[in-house]
Structure 1
Amino acid sequence: MNERKGSPLSYADLWERWKEKGDLEAKKEIIEKYLNIVDYVAGRLAVGLPKNVSKDDLFSNGVMGLIDAVEKFDYKRGLQFETYASWRVRGSILDGLRQGDWVPRSVREKAKRIEEGYQQLEQQYLRSVTDSEMSSYLNVSEKEFQHMLQEVAVMTLCSLEDPIREEESETRLSVLVDDKAKNPDHKVQEFYLHESLTKGIEKLTEKERTVVSLLYYEDLSLSEIAEVMSLSPSRISQLHSKAILRLRGSLEKHRSLLMQED
Protein backbone atom coordinates (compact mmCIF):
# COMPACT_ATOMS: atom_id res chain seq x y z
CA MET A 1 0.00 0.00 0.00
CA ASN A 2 1.30 3.45 -0.83
CA GLU A 3 2.31 5.63 2.11
CA ARG A 4 -0.09 8.35 2.98
CA LYS A 5 0.43 11.49 5.00
CA GLY A 6 -0.55 11.31 8.61
CA SER A 7 -0.02 8.85 11.45
CA PRO A 8 -1.25 8.27 15.01
CA LEU A 9 1.75 10.28 16.18
CA SER A 10 1.06 13.33 14.02
CA TYR A 11 -2.59 13.22 15.13
CA ALA A 12 -1.75 12.45 18.78
CA ASP A 13 -3.76 15.39 20.08
CA LEU A 14 -6.87 14.22 18.19
CA TRP A 15 -6.51 10.65 19.48
CA GLU A 16 -6.08 11.90 23.03
CA ARG A 17 -9.12 14.17 22.80
CA TRP A 18 -11.23 11.33 21.37
CA LYS A 19 -10.01 8.44 23.53
CA GLU A 20 -9.42 10.25 26.80
CA LYS A 21 -12.11 12.92 26.71
CA GLY A 22 -14.71 11.43 24.38
CA ASP A 23 -14.53 14.44 22.06
CA LEU A 24 -16.83 13.53 19.15
CA GLU A 25 -15.46 16.36 17.00
CA ALA A 26 -11.98 14.86 17.34
CA LYS A 27 -13.37 11.46 16.36
CA LYS A 28 -15.04 12.98 13.31
CA GLU A 29 -11.80 14.70 12.29
CA ILE A 30 -9.82 11.45 12.59
CA ILE A 31 -12.36 9.63 10.40
CA GLU A 32 -12.20 12.37 7.78
CA LYS A 33 -8.39 12.30 7.75
CA TYR A 34 -8.37 8.55 7.04
CA LEU A 35 -11.17 8.34 4.47
CA ASN A 36 -8.49 7.82 1.81
CA ILE A 37 -8.00 4.33 3.25
CA VAL A 38 -11.60 3.53 2.34
CA ASP A 39 -11.08 4.91 -1.17
CA TYR A 40 -7.97 2.77 -1.62
CA VAL A 41 -9.39 -0.52 -0.30
CA ALA A 42 -12.75 -0.11 -2.03
CA GLY A 43 -11.00 0.67 -5.31
CA ARG A 44 -8.85 -2.47 -5.07
CA LEU A 45 -11.78 -4.72 -4.25
CA ALA A 46 -13.89 -3.22 -7.04
CA VAL A 47 -11.48 -4.65 -9.63
CA GLY A 48 -13.00 -7.85 -11.00
CA LEU A 49 -16.36 -7.48 -9.28
CA PRO A 50 -19.56 -7.56 -11.37
CA LYS A 51 -20.79 -4.23 -12.69
CA ASN A 52 -23.97 -4.54 -10.65
CA VAL A 53 -21.92 -4.15 -7.46
CA SER A 54 -22.18 -0.47 -6.56
CA LYS A 55 -18.93 1.30 -5.72
CA ASP A 56 -20.97 3.57 -3.47
CA ASP A 57 -22.06 0.51 -1.48
CA LEU A 58 -18.44 -0.63 -1.19
CA PHE A 59 -17.46 2.82 0.07
CA SER A 60 -20.36 3.00 2.55
CA ASN A 61 -19.50 -0.40 4.03
CA GLY A 62 -15.85 0.63 4.14
CA VAL A 63 -16.69 3.77 6.10
CA MET A 64 -18.47 1.61 8.68
CA GLY A 65 -15.28 -0.42 9.00
CA LEU A 66 -13.21 2.75 9.42
CA ILE A 67 -15.52 4.01 12.15
CA ASP A 68 -15.22 0.65 13.91
CA ALA A 69 -11.42 0.87 13.63
CA VAL A 70 -11.34 4.38 15.12
CA GLU A 71 -13.52 3.22 18.02
CA LYS A 72 -11.44 0.12 18.81
CA PHE A 73 -7.89 1.29 18.06
CA ASP A 74 -5.53 1.67 21.05
CA TYR A 75 -3.36 4.61 20.09
CA LYS A 76 -1.15 4.20 23.18
CA ARG A 77 0.40 0.99 21.84
CA GLY A 78 2.24 2.93 19.14
CA LEU A 79 0.97 0.69 16.36
CA GLN A 80 0.28 1.77 12.78
CA PHE A 81 -3.37 2.75 12.60
CA GLU A 82 -3.40 2.66 8.80
CA THR A 83 -2.62 -1.06 8.70
CA TYR A 84 -5.20 -1.85 11.38
CA ALA A 85 -7.84 0.29 9.70
CA SER A 86 -7.19 -1.27 6.28
CA TRP A 87 -8.05 -4.74 7.62
CA ARG A 88 -11.17 -3.43 9.34
CA VAL A 89 -12.30 -1.59 6.22
CA ARG A 90 -11.65 -4.60 3.99
CA GLY A 91 -13.51 -6.90 6.36
CA SER A 92 -16.49 -4.56 6.53
CA ILE A 93 -16.72 -4.34 2.72
CA LEU A 94 -16.49 -8.13 2.34
CA ASP A 95 -19.15 -8.61 5.02
CA GLY A 96 -21.42 -6.32 3.02
CA LEU A 97 -20.79 -8.30 -0.15
CA ARG A 98 -21.60 -11.60 1.57
CA GLN A 99 -24.79 -10.26 3.09
CA GLY A 100 -25.86 -8.94 -0.30
CA ASP A 101 -25.50 -12.44 -1.79
CA TRP A 102 -24.14 -10.88 -4.99
CA VAL A 103 -22.78 -14.14 -6.44
CA PRO A 104 -25.33 -16.06 -8.57
CA ARG A 105 -26.12 -19.61 -7.44
CA SER A 106 -24.86 -21.02 -10.74
CA VAL A 107 -21.43 -19.47 -10.13
CA ARG A 108 -21.32 -20.83 -6.58
CA GLU A 109 -22.15 -24.31 -7.90
CA LYS A 110 -19.38 -24.12 -10.50
CA ALA A 111 -16.89 -23.01 -7.87
CA LYS A 112 -17.95 -25.91 -5.64
CA ARG A 113 -17.52 -28.41 -8.50
CA ILE A 114 -14.03 -27.10 -9.27
CA GLU A 115 -13.07 -27.11 -5.60
CA GLU A 116 -14.25 -30.69 -5.17
CA GLY A 117 -12.43 -31.68 -8.36
CA TYR A 118 -9.12 -30.32 -7.12
CA GLN A 119 -9.65 -31.93 -3.73
CA GLN A 120 -10.40 -35.41 -5.11
CA LEU A 121 -7.85 -35.46 -7.94
CA GLU A 122 -4.97 -34.10 -5.88
CA GLN A 123 -5.74 -36.62 -3.15
CA GLN A 124 -5.75 -39.33 -5.80
CA TYR A 125 -2.58 -38.28 -7.65
CA LEU A 126 -0.75 -36.69 -4.67
CA ARG A 127 0.32 -33.77 -6.88
CA SER A 128 -1.02 -30.68 -8.57
CA VAL A 129 -3.37 -31.71 -11.34
CA THR A 130 -3.32 -30.24 -14.82
CA ASP A 131 -6.05 -28.25 -16.54
CA SER A 132 -6.53 -31.21 -18.88
CA GLU A 133 -7.16 -33.57 -15.96
CA MET A 134 -9.59 -31.12 -14.39
CA SER A 135 -11.41 -30.70 -17.69
CA SER A 136 -11.82 -34.46 -17.98
CA TYR A 137 -13.09 -34.70 -14.41
CA LEU A 138 -15.64 -31.95 -15.02
CA ASN A 139 -16.51 -33.39 -18.45
CA VAL A 140 -15.86 -30.09 -20.24
CA SER A 141 -13.31 -28.88 -22.76
CA GLU A 142 -10.20 -27.04 -21.56
CA LYS A 143 -11.59 -23.87 -23.10
CA GLU A 144 -14.83 -24.31 -21.14
CA PHE A 145 -12.81 -24.94 -17.99
CA GLN A 146 -10.90 -21.67 -18.48
CA HIS A 147 -14.21 -19.89 -18.92
CA MET A 148 -15.49 -21.44 -15.68
CA LEU A 149 -12.42 -20.15 -13.86
CA GLN A 150 -13.10 -16.70 -15.22
CA GLU A 151 -16.70 -16.86 -14.02
CA VAL A 152 -15.84 -17.89 -10.47
CA ALA A 153 -13.05 -15.31 -10.22
CA VAL A 154 -15.47 -12.73 -8.80
CA MET A 155 -16.10 -14.82 -5.68
CA THR A 156 -12.60 -16.15 -4.99
CA LEU A 157 -11.38 -12.68 -4.04
CA CYS A 158 -13.24 -13.14 -0.76
CA SER A 159 -12.33 -16.76 -0.10
CA LEU A 160 -9.40 -16.33 2.28
CA GLU A 161 -11.41 -13.73 4.13
CA ASP A 162 -14.27 -16.13 4.82
CA PRO A 163 -14.74 -17.00 8.53
CA ILE A 164 -13.24 -20.30 9.71
CA ARG A 165 -16.58 -20.95 11.37
CA GLU A 166 -19.76 -19.15 10.40
CA GLU A 167 -20.44 -17.71 13.85
CA GLU A 168 -16.93 -16.26 14.23
CA SER A 169 -15.17 -13.27 12.73
CA GLU A 170 -11.69 -14.83 12.54
CA THR A 171 -10.69 -15.64 8.98
CA ARG A 172 -8.40 -18.19 7.36
CA LEU A 173 -5.94 -15.48 6.37
CA SER A 174 -5.95 -13.80 9.78
CA VAL A 175 -4.08 -16.65 11.45
CA LEU A 176 -1.10 -15.85 9.26
CA VAL A 177 -0.97 -12.16 10.20
CA ASP A 178 -2.50 -11.85 13.68
CA ASP A 179 -0.03 -12.28 16.53
CA LYS A 180 -2.36 -11.48 19.43
CA ALA A 181 -2.17 -13.93 22.28
CA LYS A 182 -4.98 -16.50 22.54
CA ASN A 183 -5.84 -19.42 24.78
CA PRO A 184 -3.95 -22.76 24.36
CA ASP A 185 -6.83 -24.58 22.62
CA HIS A 186 -7.13 -21.76 20.11
CA LYS A 187 -3.38 -21.85 19.53
CA VAL A 188 -3.54 -25.56 18.71
CA GLN A 189 -6.33 -24.90 16.20
CA GLU A 190 -4.31 -22.07 14.66
CA PHE A 191 -1.27 -24.33 14.38
CA TYR A 192 -3.13 -26.98 12.40
CA LEU A 193 -4.84 -24.36 10.24
CA HIS A 194 -1.48 -22.75 9.53
CA GLU A 195 -0.08 -26.18 8.64
CA SER A 196 -3.01 -26.84 6.29
CA LEU A 197 -2.51 -23.51 4.54
CA THR A 198 1.24 -24.05 4.28
CA LYS A 199 0.83 -27.51 2.76
CA GLY A 200 -1.86 -26.22 0.42
CA ILE A 201 0.36 -23.38 -0.79
CA GLU A 202 3.23 -25.82 -1.37
CA LYS A 203 1.01 -27.75 -3.79
CA LEU A 204 0.33 -24.68 -5.93
CA THR A 205 2.23 -24.10 -9.14
CA GLU A 206 4.96 -21.46 -9.09
CA LYS A 207 2.77 -18.93 -10.91
CA GLU A 208 -0.17 -19.55 -8.57
CA ARG A 209 2.05 -19.06 -5.51
CA THR A 210 3.39 -15.85 -6.99
CA VAL A 211 -0.11 -14.47 -7.58
CA VAL A 212 -1.20 -15.31 -4.01
CA SER A 213 1.95 -13.75 -2.57
CA LEU A 214 1.71 -10.55 -4.58
CA LEU A 215 -2.02 -10.12 -3.94
CA TYR A 216 -2.27 -10.94 -0.23
CA TYR A 217 1.20 -10.12 1.07
CA GLU A 218 2.62 -7.48 -1.27
CA ASP A 219 -0.80 -5.81 -1.56
CA LEU A 220 -0.73 -5.46 -5.36
CA SER A 221 -3.90 -5.31 -7.43
CA LEU A 222 -4.67 -7.92 -10.09
CA SER A 223 -3.80 -5.44 -12.84
CA GLU A 224 -0.48 -4.64 -11.15
CA ILE A 225 0.31 -8.35 -10.81
CA ALA A 226 -0.47 -8.83 -14.51
CA GLU A 227 2.09 -6.15 -15.34
CA VAL A 228 4.72 -7.63 -13.03
CA MET A 229 4.28 -11.15 -14.41
CA SER A 230 3.83 -10.02 -18.04
CA LEU A 231 0.51 -11.81 -18.30
CA SER A 232 -2.99 -10.63 -19.16
CA PRO A 233 -5.31 -9.61 -16.31
CA SER A 234 -7.69 -12.43 -17.29
CA ARG A 235 -4.86 -14.97 -16.98
CA ILE A 236 -3.94 -13.61 -13.54
CA SER A 237 -7.59 -13.88 -12.55
CA GLN A 238 -7.65 -17.54 -13.65
CA LEU A 239 -4.44 -18.33 -11.75
CA HIS A 240 -5.88 -16.69 -8.65
CA SER A 241 -9.13 -18.65 -8.95
CA LYS A 242 -7.28 -21.96 -9.29
CA ALA A 243 -5.03 -21.15 -6.33
CA ILE A 244 -7.90 -20.21 -4.04
CA LEU A 245 -10.07 -23.17 -4.99
CA ARG A 246 -7.12 -25.49 -4.37
CA LEU A 247 -6.49 -23.89 -0.97
CA ARG A 248 -10.16 -24.17 -0.07
CA GLY A 249 -10.01 -27.87 -0.83
CA SER A 250 -6.95 -28.26 1.41
CA LEU A 251 -8.68 -26.39 4.23
CA GLU A 252 -11.93 -28.36 4.01
CA LYS A 253 -10.45 -31.27 5.96
CA HIS A 254 -9.32 -28.88 8.69
CA ARG A 255 -12.75 -27.27 8.80
CA SER A 256 -14.39 -30.68 9.23
CA LEU A 257 -12.07 -31.49 12.13
CA LEU A 258 -12.94 -28.20 13.83
CA MET A 259 -16.65 -28.90 13.49
CA GLN A 260 -16.22 -32.41 14.95
CA GLU A 261 -14.47 -31.00 18.00
CA ASP A 262 -17.39 -28.68 18.85
Structure 2
Amino acid sequence: MGERKISHLNHAGLWEEWKERGNLEAKKRLIENYLHIVDYVSSRLAIGLPKNVSKDDLASNGVMGLIDAVDKFDYKRGLQFETYASFRVRGAILDSLRQGDWVPRSVREKAKKIEDAYQQLEQKHLRSVTDAEMSEYLNVSEKEFQHMLQEVAVMSLCSLEDPIREEESETRLSVMVDDKAKNPDYKVNEFFLKEALVKGLEKLTEKERTVVSLLYYEDLSLSEIAEVMSLSPSRISQLHSKAILRLRGTLEKHRELLMQND
Protein backbone atom coordinates (compact mmCIF):
# COMPACT_ATOMS: atom_id res chain seq x y z
CA MET A 1 0.00 0.00 0.00
CA GLY A 2 1.40 3.40 -0.95
CA GLU A 3 1.79 5.85 1.90
CA ARG A 4 0.57 9.41 1.49
CA LYS A 5 2.47 12.37 2.92
CA ILE A 6 0.87 13.13 6.27
CA SER A 7 3.29 15.58 7.90
CA HIS A 8 0.64 18.33 7.82
CA LEU A 9 -2.09 16.34 9.57
CA ASN A 10 -3.23 16.96 13.16
CA HIS A 11 -4.06 14.12 15.56
CA ALA A 12 -7.63 13.78 14.29
CA GLY A 13 -6.34 13.51 10.74
CA LEU A 14 -3.78 10.90 11.76
CA TRP A 15 -6.44 8.81 13.45
CA GLU A 16 -8.60 8.95 10.35
CA GLU A 17 -5.69 7.97 8.10
CA TRP A 18 -4.80 5.01 10.31
CA LYS A 19 -8.26 3.72 11.19
CA GLU A 20 -10.06 4.39 7.91
CA ARG A 21 -7.27 3.89 5.37
CA GLY A 22 -4.78 1.68 7.20
CA ASN A 23 -1.99 4.19 6.66
CA LEU A 24 1.01 2.72 8.51
CA GLU A 25 2.87 6.02 8.41
CA ALA A 26 -0.03 7.59 10.31
CA LYS A 27 0.14 4.80 12.89
CA LYS A 28 3.87 5.39 13.29
CA ARG A 29 3.29 9.12 13.79
CA LEU A 30 0.60 8.45 16.40
CA ILE A 31 2.91 6.15 18.35
CA GLU A 32 5.69 8.74 18.22
CA ASN A 33 3.32 11.51 19.32
CA TYR A 34 2.25 9.56 22.40
CA LEU A 35 5.57 8.09 23.50
CA HIS A 36 5.61 10.60 26.35
CA ILE A 37 2.86 8.51 28.00
CA VAL A 38 5.23 5.53 28.15
CA ASP A 39 7.97 7.63 29.70
CA TYR A 40 5.60 9.12 32.27
CA VAL A 41 4.01 5.81 33.33
CA SER A 42 7.29 3.86 33.42
CA SER A 43 8.98 6.61 35.45
CA ARG A 44 6.19 6.59 38.04
CA LEU A 45 6.18 2.80 38.34
CA ALA A 46 9.96 2.66 38.63
CA ILE A 47 9.94 4.76 41.82
CA GLY A 48 8.96 1.93 44.16
CA LEU A 49 10.56 -0.99 42.33
CA PRO A 50 13.75 -2.86 43.24
CA LYS A 51 16.96 -1.57 41.67
CA ASN A 52 17.34 -4.74 39.62
CA VAL A 53 14.24 -3.77 37.60
CA SER A 54 15.44 -1.72 34.63
CA LYS A 55 13.46 1.37 33.66
CA ASP A 56 14.39 0.63 30.03
CA ASP A 57 12.71 -2.76 30.34
CA LEU A 58 9.61 -1.10 31.78
CA ALA A 59 9.55 1.37 28.89
CA SER A 60 9.99 -1.40 26.30
CA ASN A 61 6.96 -3.24 27.63
CA GLY A 62 5.11 0.05 27.91
CA VAL A 63 5.67 0.71 24.18
CA MET A 64 3.97 -2.62 23.44
CA GLY A 65 1.01 -1.42 25.48
CA LEU A 66 0.96 1.86 23.56
CA ILE A 67 0.96 0.03 20.21
CA ASP A 68 -1.91 -2.13 21.45
CA ALA A 69 -3.79 1.01 22.50
CA VAL A 70 -3.30 2.63 19.07
CA ASP A 71 -4.58 -0.56 17.43
CA LYS A 72 -7.71 -0.87 19.60
CA PHE A 73 -8.70 2.73 20.27
CA ASP A 74 -11.98 3.92 18.73
CA TYR A 75 -11.34 7.58 17.96
CA LYS A 76 -14.96 8.17 16.92
CA ARG A 77 -16.29 7.77 20.46
CA GLY A 78 -14.79 11.07 21.62
CA LEU A 79 -12.80 9.56 24.49
CA GLN A 80 -9.41 10.85 25.61
CA PHE A 81 -6.72 8.65 24.10
CA GLU A 82 -4.19 9.68 26.75
CA THR A 83 -6.35 8.21 29.52
CA TYR A 84 -7.07 5.02 27.57
CA ALA A 85 -3.42 4.57 26.58
CA SER A 86 -2.18 5.15 30.13
CA PHE A 87 -4.16 2.15 31.34
CA ARG A 88 -2.93 0.00 28.45
CA VAL A 89 0.69 1.04 28.99
CA ARG A 90 0.47 0.52 32.74
CA GLY A 91 -1.20 -2.85 32.23
CA ALA A 92 1.48 -4.02 29.80
CA ILE A 93 4.24 -3.05 32.23
CA LEU A 94 2.56 -4.70 35.20
CA ASP A 95 1.88 -7.85 33.16
CA SER A 96 5.58 -8.09 32.37
CA LEU A 97 6.46 -7.62 36.04
CA ARG A 98 4.06 -10.34 37.12
CA GLN A 99 5.41 -12.72 34.49
CA GLY A 100 8.93 -12.00 35.74
CA ASP A 101 7.84 -12.94 39.29
CA TRP A 102 9.93 -10.11 40.73
CA VAL A 103 8.15 -10.15 44.10
CA PRO A 104 9.58 -12.78 46.49
CA ARG A 105 7.15 -15.43 47.75
CA SER A 106 7.80 -14.35 51.34
CA VAL A 107 6.65 -10.79 50.53
CA ARG A 108 3.50 -12.08 48.84
CA GLU A 109 2.74 -14.21 51.90
CA LYS A 110 3.16 -11.23 54.23
CA ALA A 111 0.92 -9.07 52.05
CA LYS A 112 -1.76 -11.76 52.06
CA LYS A 113 -1.49 -12.13 55.85
CA ILE A 114 -1.93 -8.37 56.35
CA GLU A 115 -4.79 -8.24 53.85
CA ASP A 116 -6.61 -11.08 55.63
CA ALA A 117 -6.05 -9.41 59.00
CA TYR A 118 -7.57 -6.13 57.81
CA GLN A 119 -10.53 -8.01 56.35
CA GLN A 120 -11.18 -10.03 59.53
CA LEU A 121 -10.73 -7.17 62.01
CA GLU A 122 -12.71 -4.58 60.05
CA GLN A 123 -15.53 -7.04 59.52
CA LYS A 124 -15.53 -7.70 63.28
CA HIS A 125 -15.31 -4.07 64.45
CA LEU A 126 -17.12 -2.44 61.48
CA ARG A 127 -14.56 0.37 61.43
CA SER A 128 -10.97 1.11 60.48
CA VAL A 129 -8.62 -0.74 62.80
CA THR A 130 -5.52 0.78 64.35
CA ASP A 131 -1.94 -0.30 63.89
CA ALA A 132 -1.95 -1.48 67.52
CA GLU A 133 -4.93 -3.76 66.86
CA MET A 134 -3.28 -5.12 63.72
CA SER A 135 -0.04 -5.76 65.58
CA GLU A 136 -1.86 -7.62 68.34
CA TYR A 137 -3.80 -9.73 65.83
CA LEU A 138 -0.63 -10.61 63.91
CA ASN A 139 1.26 -11.19 67.18
CA VAL A 140 4.04 -8.74 66.30
CA SER A 141 5.19 -5.42 67.72
CA GLU A 142 4.02 -2.18 66.12
CA LYS A 143 7.57 -1.59 64.91
CA GLU A 144 7.61 -5.03 63.27
CA PHE A 145 4.23 -4.29 61.68
CA GLN A 146 5.56 -1.05 60.20
CA HIS A 147 8.52 -2.99 58.84
CA MET A 148 6.14 -5.52 57.25
CA LEU A 149 4.26 -2.67 55.57
CA GLN A 150 7.53 -1.30 54.23
CA GLU A 151 8.43 -4.71 52.81
CA VAL A 152 5.12 -5.16 50.97
CA ALA A 153 5.04 -1.54 49.74
CA VAL A 154 6.73 -2.49 46.47
CA MET A 155 4.01 -5.04 45.80
CA SER A 156 1.15 -2.59 46.23
CA LEU A 157 1.86 -1.11 42.79
CA CYS A 158 0.20 -4.14 41.23
CA SER A 159 -2.53 -4.75 43.78
CA LEU A 160 -5.45 -3.07 42.04
CA GLU A 161 -4.17 -4.23 38.66
CA ASP A 162 -4.37 -7.88 39.68
CA PRO A 163 -7.19 -9.94 38.11
CA ILE A 164 -10.53 -9.98 39.92
CA ARG A 165 -10.34 -13.76 39.59
CA GLU A 166 -7.11 -15.64 39.12
CA GLU A 167 -8.25 -17.40 35.95
CA GLU A 168 -9.39 -14.17 34.27
CA SER A 169 -7.55 -11.22 32.77
CA GLU A 170 -10.05 -8.53 33.85
CA THR A 171 -8.53 -6.34 36.54
CA ARG A 172 -10.10 -4.45 39.41
CA LEU A 173 -9.41 -1.12 37.72
CA SER A 174 -10.38 -2.21 34.21
CA VAL A 175 -13.96 -1.15 34.86
CA MET A 176 -12.73 2.44 34.79
CA VAL A 177 -11.87 2.18 31.08
CA ASP A 178 -14.85 2.12 28.74
CA ASP A 179 -13.16 0.63 25.67
CA LYS A 180 -16.18 -1.42 24.60
CA ALA A 181 -19.86 -1.61 25.34
CA LYS A 182 -20.52 -4.28 27.98
CA ASN A 183 -23.40 -6.70 28.34
CA PRO A 184 -26.00 -6.28 31.14
CA ASP A 185 -24.37 -8.88 33.41
CA TYR A 186 -21.09 -7.00 33.19
CA LYS A 187 -22.79 -3.69 33.96
CA VAL A 188 -24.41 -5.16 37.09
CA ASN A 189 -21.04 -6.52 38.24
CA GLU A 190 -19.43 -3.16 37.42
CA PHE A 191 -21.99 -1.37 39.61
CA PHE A 192 -21.40 -3.61 42.61
CA LEU A 193 -17.63 -3.52 42.12
CA LYS A 194 -17.66 0.28 42.19
CA GLU A 195 -19.94 0.15 45.23
CA ALA A 196 -17.44 -2.17 46.94
CA LEU A 197 -14.61 0.25 46.15
CA VAL A 198 -16.59 3.16 47.60
CA LYS A 199 -17.22 1.19 50.79
CA GLY A 200 -13.56 0.26 50.92
CA LEU A 201 -12.51 3.89 50.55
CA GLU A 202 -14.85 4.89 53.37
CA LYS A 203 -12.98 2.52 55.70
CA LEU A 204 -9.66 4.22 55.06
CA THR A 205 -8.27 6.79 57.44
CA GLU A 206 -8.20 10.41 56.29
CA LYS A 207 -4.47 10.24 55.54
CA GLU A 208 -4.84 6.99 53.60
CA ARG A 209 -7.67 8.44 51.51
CA THR A 210 -5.55 11.51 50.81
CA VAL A 211 -2.64 9.39 49.59
CA VAL A 212 -4.90 7.30 47.33
CA SER A 213 -6.56 10.43 45.95
CA LEU A 214 -3.29 12.24 45.24
CA LEU A 215 -1.65 9.17 43.73
CA TYR A 216 -4.44 7.75 41.57
CA TYR A 217 -6.58 10.80 40.83
CA GLU A 218 -4.16 13.73 40.94
CA ASP A 219 -1.27 11.74 39.40
CA LEU A 220 1.29 12.86 41.97
CA SER A 221 4.32 10.69 42.69
CA LEU A 222 4.98 9.30 46.18
CA SER A 223 7.76 11.84 46.72
CA GLU A 224 5.46 14.70 45.65
CA ILE A 225 2.75 13.44 48.02
CA ALA A 226 5.33 13.38 50.82
CA GLU A 227 6.01 17.08 50.22
CA VAL A 228 2.31 17.96 50.07
CA MET A 229 1.51 16.11 53.31
CA SER A 230 4.78 17.08 55.06
CA LEU A 231 5.60 13.45 55.74
CA SER A 232 8.58 11.27 54.86
CA PRO A 233 8.44 9.19 51.62
CA SER A 234 8.67 6.02 53.73
CA ARG A 235 5.61 7.10 55.76
CA ILE A 236 3.69 7.80 52.54
CA SER A 237 4.71 4.37 51.28
CA GLN A 238 3.35 2.78 54.46
CA LEU A 239 0.06 4.68 54.20
CA HIS A 240 -0.25 3.60 50.59
CA SER A 241 0.41 -0.03 51.47
CA LYS A 242 -2.20 -0.01 54.24
CA ALA A 243 -4.78 1.62 51.97
CA ILE A 244 -4.22 -0.89 49.18
CA LEU A 245 -4.32 -3.87 51.54
CA ARG A 246 -7.57 -2.61 53.08
CA LEU A 247 -9.08 -2.22 49.60
CA ARG A 248 -7.88 -5.66 48.58
CA GLY A 249 -9.70 -7.13 51.55
CA THR A 250 -12.92 -5.35 50.59
CA LEU A 251 -12.64 -6.46 46.97
CA GLU A 252 -11.84 -10.03 47.99
CA LYS A 253 -15.05 -10.10 50.00
CA HIS A 254 -16.86 -8.78 46.93
CA ARG A 255 -15.31 -11.54 44.83
CA GLU A 256 -16.48 -14.21 47.28
CA LEU A 257 -20.03 -12.84 47.13
CA LEU A 258 -19.91 -12.95 43.33
CA MET A 259 -18.79 -16.56 43.40
CA GLN A 260 -21.61 -17.47 45.81
CA ASN A 261 -24.14 -15.88 43.44
CA ASP A 262 -22.73 -17.54 40.27
Please, what TM-score do these two structures have when normalized by structure 1? 0.91
Q: Is the 8 A contact 2:127 2:203 kept in 1?
A: yes
Give 1:139's aligned amino acid.
N
Identity of aligned residues (%): 85
Structure 2 residue identity aligned to 1:160: L
CA contact (8 A) 2:14 2:26 kept: yes
Q: Deviations over 1:58-97 (max 9, x none)?
A: 0011000000011111223333221211111111111111
Residue 103 of structure 2: SS of its match in structure 1? coil
Any stretches of 5+ residues in structure 2 without a counterpart? 1-8
How far, CA to CA, are the matches of 2:216 and 2:239 in structure 1? 14
2:44 matched residue in structure 1? 44
* 1:35 maps onto 2:35 in alignment: yes
Q: 78-87 vs 221-230, which deviates more?
A: 78-87
Matched residue, 1:61: 61
Deviations 1:21-49, CA, capped at 9 Å, x for gaps? 21212211211121111001000011111
**Deviation of the 1:177 alpha carbon:** 5.4
Contact residue 73 and residue 179 of structure 2 kept, 8 A: no
Q: 1:67 to 1:177 in 2, by over 3 A?
A: closer
The CA distance in 1 between the partners of 2:98 and 2:136, in whole Å, is 32
- Farther off after superposition, 136-145 or 230-239: 136-145
Letter in 2 for 1:21: R
Map 1:181-192 to 2 at 5 A. Answer: 181-192=181-192
Q: What TM-score does the superposition give when structure 2 sets the normalisation length? A: 0.91
Mapping 1:64-143, distance limit 5 Å? 64-143=64-143
The match for 2:20 is 20
Q: Secondary structure at the match of 1:166?
A: coil
Give the letter for the 1:133 counterpart: E
Indicate yes or no: 2:214 matched with 1:211. no
Render the CA deviation track for 1:172-224: whole Å, top value 9, x for unaligned.
22334548542222222122212211111111100001111111111111111
Shift in Å, 1:250: 1.1
Distance in 2 of aligned mates of 1:124 and 1:130: 13
Q: Secondary structure at the match of 1:243?
A: helix
> What SS class does the counterpart of residue 117 from structure 2 fall into?
helix
Q: Distance in 2 between matches of 1:41 and 1:255?
A: 28
Q: Secondary structure of 2:171's partner?
A: coil
- For 2:159, the aligned partner's letter is S
After the TM superposition, which of the residue ranges 146-155 and 193-202 deviates more from structure 2? 193-202
> Aligned letter for 1:182?
K
The secondary structure found in structure 2 opposite 1:58 is helix
**How far apart, in 2, do the equivalents of 1:113 and 1:78 lie?**
43
8 A Cα contact 2:84 2:177, kept in partner:
no
With 33-42 and 162-171 compared, the bigger mean Cα shift is at 162-171
Take 2:12 and 2:184, find their aligned partners in 1: how far apart are those partners?
Answer: 36
**Which residue is equivalent to 2:152?**
152
Please, which moves more after superposition, 176-185 or 114-123? 176-185
Distance 1:200 1:191 in 2: 14
Q: Deviations over 1:90-140 (max 9, x none)?
A: 111111111111100000011011111111111122211111111111111
1:176–1:194 CA contact under 8 A, matched in 2:
no
CA separation in 2, counterparts of 1:186 and 1:118?
Answer: 28
Is the contact made by 2:31 and 2:66 (CA closer than 8 Å) also made in structure 1?
Answer: yes
